[in-house]
A and B are shown apart, each in its own frame.
Chain A
Amino acid sequence: MPATSEIERVFRAEYGRAVAVLVRVCGDIDTAEEAVQDAFAAALERWPQTGVPPSPAGWIITTARNRAVDRFRRESSRDARQAAAVALLEWDEPGDGSLEEESVRDDQLRMIFTCCHPALAPNVQVALTLRLLGGLTTAEIARAFLVPEATMAQRLVRAKGKIRDARIPYRVPETHELPQRLRSVLAVVYLVFNEGYAASAGDRLIRDDLCAEAIRLGRLLHELMPDEPEVMGLLALMLLIESRRSARTTADGAMVRLAEQDRTSWDRALVAEGQALVRRCLAIGRPGPYQLQAAVNAVHADAARAEQTDWRQILTLYDLHLSIAPSPVVALHRAVAVAEVDGPATALGIVDGLDLESHHMYHAIRADLLRRLGRDADAASAYDAAIARSGNAAERAFLDGRRRALDTK
C-alpha cells in the first residue's frame, strides 16, 4: 500500500508533465491545473487501496482529462465550452499516440517557453516556472522568495491572466528566435538556482530545495534540447557549484572561501558529471557564458589543493568570456584570475577602471587586492563599502571577519 509520501513524490515528479499536456488539450492553464489537482485528489483516495498504477503519469493525465470533460459539461453554458468538451472527448485514449513520450516532451517545452516568455517580468517567469513545471505550491514559492503568500498568489493570477488575455502562444519558438528565447529560459533556471544558493535569508530547507529544483529543470532542459551547448553549460555550472555545498559553510553556517574549503568533501559524482558535460559542450565549438563559467568551475574542481589551481587556464577562459559577452562583472571576475597570474597590483589597476560602485563584490575584491598589497587602511574602507552593500548575512559576517583580521596584524 503506497504511503501518502509516495503519492507526494509522484505529484512532484509528474505535476509539470501532466499540466503541460492538459494545457495543450484544454487551451487554458487554470482549467488544466484544476483538472490535474482533481486527478491527484482522486489518486490520494484510490491508490492507497489499489496501489500505484504501472504508469502513474498516464493514470494522472487520463483522469485529469476525464475530470476536465466533466467540468466542461457541468459548466458549459456557452458554445465555446461545448466545443472544448467535444475536443476533449475526441482526444485519443493513451496508447494510440497521444501520450507518447515525445509528445509529452513537446508539451513540456511549450510550457517552458510560455512560462519564460519575455513579455512576462523576470520574477513572474520564475514564479510561473516553479509553479507549472516544478509543481511547487504558491506557499512554497512565496516562502522561498520571502514575499507574503497573498502577494505571490496575486502575481501568479495576474501572469496567467496575461498569458490568457494577451494570448501568449503555447508553442516552441521558431529556430531563428530560439537563441534569444532560450536565453530567458536559462536565466530563469539560473535565477532559481542562485536564489537557493545565496541563502541570504529565510527557510534553509526550502532554499536547498530550490537548488535541487533548478538542477531538475536543468536536467529536463538538457533532455528536451540535448544538442544545445548553453543548456549543457548551465547544467554543468549548477552541478559543479552544487558539488561544493557541504564544504561551502561551516557547521554554524559561516561562509568558507573556495581556497579554504575542504576539497575532500566535494561531491565527486557531481564533479565528474559536471566536468563530463563541460568537455561535451565545449567540443561543440559554440562557447557561451554558461559554458565558460562552468569551465572555470571545472578547472577549480581539477585542483586537489587550492595552490594547484591552473589560474592561467582560468584567465584564458575569462578572456574568451569577455570577448564573446563583454560586461564589467565578467571583467571583475577576470581580475581575480589576473591577480593570481600577474599579481595584485595589475589586478587592482583593472578593478579600479570598472564602473561597479554599487556592486558589493567589486568592493570585496578590491578590499582583498588592497590587503594583499599591504594597503590596510584602504582595504578596511573597501571592506566597509562591501559590507554596507551586501544583502547576505553570512557574507557580511565573512567580510567583517576579513576586516577584523587587518586590525590584528
Chain B
Amino acid sequence: MTRYLISIYQPDGPPPPPEVLEPVMREIAQIRQELDTAGQWVFGDGLHPPSTATVVRATGDDVLLTDGPFVEGKEHVGGFMIIDAPDLDDALQWGLRYARATRLPIEVRPFQGKSTT
C-alpha cells in the first residue's frame, strides 16, 4: 500500500448555501465510511478559511509571523484526506469520487513513507 494525500482546492469566499452544501457533506461522509470499511482511511478534515492561517518564518534568531496563507491566490486547500491505496489508479478512483461530490478540483499526491498496512 502507498499513502496518498487527497487535497480539495476550493475558491475563497463564503461557503455555498446549506441546500447546496448539505448533500455534498453527506456524500463526503459516505465516501469516508466506504474508505473506513475498505481499511484505507487514515485521516481527513475540512479547514477553516485561509484568512485564519498564519505563516511562520525563521531567519537567524528572528521569527517573522505574517497573517494569511503562504500562497496568494483565489483558491486554497479547503480540506484534505490521507488514504492508503494499492496503486495510483485506486487512489485516483477515490479522488474522482471526491471531485464528483464537491465539483472541485482534487489533487492526489503520494507520500514518501510507506504505509504500515
Binds B, one of A67-75, A160-168, A253-261: A160-168
Given contacts A165-B112, A166-B88, A169-B89, 5 further A-B contacts (CB under 8 A): A166-B2, A166-B109, A166-B110, A167-B85, A167-B88
Tell me which of A117, A167, A169 contacts B110 (CB under 8 A).
Answer: A167
User: 0/1 per residue, A203-234, Cβ < 8 Å to B?
Assistant: 00000000000000000000000000000000
Q: Which residues of chain A have C-beta atoms less than 8 A from B85's C-beta?
A: 167
Question: CA separation between A117 and B92, bound complex, in Å?
Answer: 12
- Alpha-carbon separation in the docked complex, A169 to B93 (Å): 13
Bound-complex Cα distance A119 to B86 (A): 16
Q: How far is the CB of B113 from chain A (nearest CB, A)?
A: 11
Which residues between 164 and 178 of chain A lie within 8 Å of chain B, taking CB atoms?
Answer: 165-169
- Let me know if B75 is at the binding interface, CB within 8 A: no
How far, in whole Å, are A119 and B92 apart by their CA atoms in the complex? 9
**A residues in contact with B36, CB < 8 Å:** none
**CB-CB nearest 3 A-B residue pairs:** A169-B87, A167-B87, A166-B110
User: Contact: A168 with B87, CB < 8 Å?
Assistant: yes
The interface residues of chain B lying within 8 Å CB-to-CB of A167 are 2, 85-88, 110
Which residues of A does B touch, CB under 8 Å?
A: 117, 119, 165-169
CB-defined interface of B88-101 with A at 8 Å, one 1/0 digit per residue?
11001000000000
Which residue of the partner chain B has the closest CB to A117? B88
Q: Select the residue from B87, B88, B108, B112 with max chain A CB neighbours within 10 A.
A: B88
> Which residues on B sit within 8 Å (CB–CB) of A165?
110, 112
Contacts of B2 in A (CB 8 A): 166-167
- Which residue, of B85, B109, B110, has the highest number of chain A Cβ atoms within 10 A? B110
With a cutoff of 8 Å between Cβ atoms, the chain B residues found around residue A169 in the complex are: 86-89
| Nearest chain A CB to B104 CB, angstrom units | 19
Question: In chain A, what residue has the closest Cβ to B4?
Answer: A166
A129: min CB distance to chain B, Å: 18
Chain A residues with CB under 8 Å of B92's CB are 119
Q: CA of A33 to CA of B84 in the docked complex: distance in angstroms? A: 29
B100 CB → nearest A CB, Å: 16
Minimum CB–CB distance from A96 to chain B (whole Å) comes to 29
- Residues of A near B87 (CB, < 8 A) are 167-169
Complex CA distance for A134 and B88, rounded to whole angstroms = 25
> Which residues on B sit within 8 Å (CB–CB) of A117?
88
For B85, give the chain A residue with the smallest CB separation: A167
Query: Could you tell me the distance between the alpha carbons of A165 and B86 in the complex, rounded to whole angstroms?
Result: 12
Contact with A along B1-26 (1 / 0, CB 8 A): 01000000000000000000000000
* Chain B residue contacts of A166, Cβ below 8 A: 2, 88, 108-110
